[in-house]
A and B are shown apart, each in its own frame.
Chain A
């Protein structure tokens, strides 16, 4: 079963349009919610008058800051965000009030009648502006607007830089972008006394549960979080999003459920990708080895810390790169600004950092006369070496990833010269990118199996199915490990009332973490079946195995169902757990950053139209290290998807603001890749290893896309773009500047 390309379990529902997305949820007596948002980027003395709005027929209740208790502030580590704004607003789009009404029409009519007064304050939108003396301050507890400073200290920098023959210093930037799942954020909540049920399109049901229990002062068990299939997540539905507001609204509706569906424009002010400015100072010797790297990272966290206190240190670790560098210092700053809160965006933080270190690799190689491919091969980590955190690297396959992706371009060798472009002013170039990404250092997954006397197996898991095929993967792992046919397996979850704990479906951790929890549960289930079956088969436990729903001895076998029946059992339930507990020292960044490293590479061949700056990606070849692949075709599909998704932030995606107001919050002015934007040739390969550790593959081939393309552009036309996205206009400007030099 593992290693077989079975279709997704609910494939038929997926092509028939009958998947139970949140947007389809209808509950008895359900009300419709609408959020009223700030038009100002920064203001104080907020006053909200709902008198006129309450008069609209059909309006049941209106939520404002006055309804909130002292605990109504939340955040993954810093509880700075109000369920709705209280006294102060800090970004355009911040919820100020919410309405629950019998119809969406009524809610929308009431929304425009809510009177809002505030006193506008100066605002700041750029992270580096926000840390200057005298910049507007967002939260008094953090007078310089820096809410997180993560540090990595490894080696003697002065000595290491002194050893370098050349020192390179470059700054690379990424703008604010949006995850833009086609399904928006949708949640519905209902209270029954002090019990809350919330249905939500979330990647992290247990984080939602914890957060809501804290906000409302109730036990975690009093909060039930139910998550159906998601219409895409990409990090945008990670952590906590609209759930606190939806639950607080429902608290005012006398037990009636209320459902909120965000509009596309609202999506753009709900969660974003961190804008980043990354400066790398790198020392290199003439022999092509590194001596030192100083990385300084400014992450624009937006108006609230949200998940950034976790993501900013992750970004720090992800900023070093997959190369042997004896001395490394990193300073990673999370900064408040008057923009919407930023969160994870597929390839979280690695997209920004890989953009920086892989772009600089080519800058260095070209300046020092190395072929960029060879320069990488010379310096890539191999297993047994030590990373800047001090940890020993195991199961490391960067060299293989780069070689395989280079080979995918279909040229005899990476050093084979390219033909010039076809047509006037067309130039062709080739470029590479490699990435090294940590997953969550400390996290836990639990799985529970229920075997029934009819031989069916139900897997209770809180892994969220968001298109990655997580449920199918878990079913395959169950089938293989327990020895049952796939069709006997049913998956339930996530529903925090009945499915066991899981930290989150993100960071490409599920196949590895939940997969191992499922394996553990299968192990205990097998043990139980052997114990129950041994007397029936008159064979000692160690002479038994499972196969196709049977416990098998040498010449005799019995079905799982019959084992239960013969023991007068209707069901047997067994659980499994898998957890990792690593971490790094907050002052030095030394320790173990991740249970294993995500590894990926990409190779691009692009054509640049030197008259317009427009590029065409002729070929793209990607490779990810997957350890052991559970479902090859789905893994490849996800790998392809990474590359295609990655073309967005590389070439087109940027939220443009005017005074904190997004001017392109729609899919006409904020473009995402279409079928006509994908490379003419795209291949992606999963690399497996004999060691058999399953890795996630949800992001690995994404972060290399941007630098591989930028490097190919420099190869083609000799200009270096350091600011994403790489638009035709930027390339043309750079070409003009170059020709004027």
Chain B
């Protein structure tokens, strides 16, 4: 068996040309959490690992005019602790603070976390609710993908084999908006989420909801929004009745999966509970 080459490009262009050279046979490694796991469990046997560890300038968090920009190589722990993120959206910092454990957060990058497309993860639901998009660099061109179109299925994204996620952009929230993230662990507190709910709501001067986005993750293959349920809120005060109606609609419309953390039946119930609780939190904020 040939040893696996460990390649260390110093920029994304070089990384992509290395990907092209190795066709389907190379694997990108950023923080290393998921790639090392797959290597150790012999789920992958690439001819080369293309490490992004020597690419500088992509571990950044910047609040720009159009929103928050986070470089793909930023560690989850740095996002969690960033004052810029906390100021931009406390719920986003909180979301990153509840991912796995402190060791994983010290190691894992936001680009790696999203590209792994693990359904039982925390950031995808919150970022989807925040209407985030990702910058992607390819051999020929760069493109932007809305997170709502990024996750295609279990461990599958819209990235082409020779594309790399380079940056995440989260549009600035109006000052009248608020966000919440609810992670529900059903077994051990230390487990992965059974249900993840990210919610963002904006309110007009009469405390009526002008915009609402709720994304449910971990219970479904990819983060899901139910637009019909969201629009129920538009122009209305988030009363208990309305909150319950939206939560019911989410529960009814989503088709959750079954795993060791809960059956589809239970997850439908928990989607109702945690959509409700997330809405109560964003409502309460105002």
Contacts and interface: CB of A to CB of B under 8 A. Distances in A.
A671 B187 contact: yes
A612 B188 contact: no
Interface in B96-128: none
B149 interface: no
B260 A656 contact: yes
Interface residue tally of chain B, by bracket? 10 to 19
Interface stretch (B71-79, B189-197, B199-207, B212-220): B189-197
Contacts of B190: 671, 674, 676-677
A673 interface: yes
A530 to B, nearest CB: 57
B270 A612 contact: yes
Contact of A732 (B191, B260, B269): B269
Contact of B189 (A108, A612, A674, A727): A674
A729 B263 CA distance: 8
B189 A676 contact: yes
A177 to B, nearest CB: 13
> Which of A109, A651, A668 has the most chain B CB atoms inside 10 A of its CB?
A668
A729 B192 contact: no
B273 interface: yes
A671 B261 CA distance: 10
Interface string B258-271: 01101100100110
A674 B190 CA distance: 6
B1 interface: yes
Interface in B121-140: none
B58 interface: no
Contacts of B262: 729
Nearest to A612: B273
Given A656-B260, A664-B260, A677 B269 contact: no
Contacts of B263: 729
B38 to A, nearest CB: 13
Contacts of B259: 669
B266 A652 contact: no
A194 interface: no
A368 interface: no
Contacts of B192: 668
> Which of A109, A656, A670, A671 has the most chain B CB atoms inside 10 A of its CB?
A671
A617 to B, nearest CB: 11
A672 interface: yes
Contacts of B266: 728-729, 732-733
Contact of B187 (A109, A611, A663, A727): A727
B40 to A, nearest CB: 9
A614 interface: yes
Contacts of A652: 187-188
Interface residues of A, number: 24
Secondary structure type dominating chain B contacts = loop
Interface in A710-735: 727-729, 732-733
B186 A669 contact: no
Nearest to B277: A611
A37 to B, nearest CB: 15
Contact of A674 (B1, B42, B188, B270): B188
> Which of B42, B187, B192, B273 has the most chain A CB atoms inside 10 A of its CB?
B187
B124 to A, nearest CB: 18
B189 A729 contact: no
Contacts of A656: 260
Nearest to B120: A668
B60 interface: no
> Which of B190, B192, B263 has the most chain A CB atoms inside 10 A of its CB?
B190
Contacts of B191: 668, 671
B184 interface: yes
Contacts of A673: 188
B188 A671 contact: yes
A676 B186 CA distance: 13
Given A611-B273, A664-B260, A109 B189 contact: no
Contacts of A614: 184, 186
Contacts of B186: 612, 614, 727-729
A672 B189 CA distance: 10
Interface string B41-70: 010000000000000000000000000000
A672 B188 contact: yes
Interface in A84-137: 108-109
Nearest to A425: B273
A677 B184 CA distance: 14
A677 B260 contact: no
Contacts of A612: 184, 186, 269-270, 273
B260 A669 contact: yes
A663 B259 CA distance: 10
Contacts of A109: 1
A645 to B, nearest CB: 13
Nearest to B261: A669
Nearest to A655: B260
B239 to A, nearest CB: 16
A459 B98 CA distance: 49
Nearest to B1: A109
Contacts of B270: 612
A421 to B, nearest CB: 16
Contact of B260 (A108, A663, A676, A728): A663
Interface string B174-191: 000000000010111111
Nearest to A728: B186
Contacts of A674: 188-190
A527 B273 CA distance: 73
Contacts of A108: 42
Interface in A288-305: none
B273 A677 contact: no
Contacts of A672: 188
A342 B260 CA distance: 22
B110 to A, nearest CB: 21
A671 B262 CA distance: 13
Interface string B30-42: 0000000000001
Interface in A656-697: 656, 663-664, 668-674, 676-677
A662 to B, nearest CB: 11
A672 B190 CA distance: 9
B264 to A, nearest CB: 11
Contacts of A664: 260
Interface string A588-619: 00000000000000000000000110100000
A676 B262 CA distance: 20
Contacts of A676: 188-190
Contacts of B260: 656, 663-664, 669-670
A612 B274 CA distance: 9
A248 to B, nearest CB: 26
> Which of B1, B188, B192 has the most chain A CB atoms inside 10 A of its CB?
B188
Nearest to A676: B189
Nearest to A671: B188
A614 B42 CA distance: 36
A729 B195 CA distance: 13
Contacts of A651: 187-188
A612 B195 CA distance: 11
Nearest to A678: B189
A182 to B, nearest CB: 15
A665 to B, nearest CB: 11
Interface in B238-265: 259-260, 262-263
B183 to A, nearest CB: 12
B273 to A, nearest CB: 5
Nearest to A736: B269
A494 B189 CA distance: 38
8 contacts: A612-B184, A656-B260, A670-B260, A671-B190, A676-B190, A677-B188, A727-B187, A728-B266
Interface of A: 108-109, 611-612, 614, 651-652, 656, 663-664, 668-674, 676-677, 727-729, 732-733
Given A664-B260, A674-B190, 6 more contacts: A612-B270, A614-B184, A663-B260, A672-B188, A729-B186, A729-B263
The 7 closest A-B pairs by CB, nearest first: A671-B188, A674-B190, A676-B189, A729-B266, A652-B187, A671-B187, A611-B273
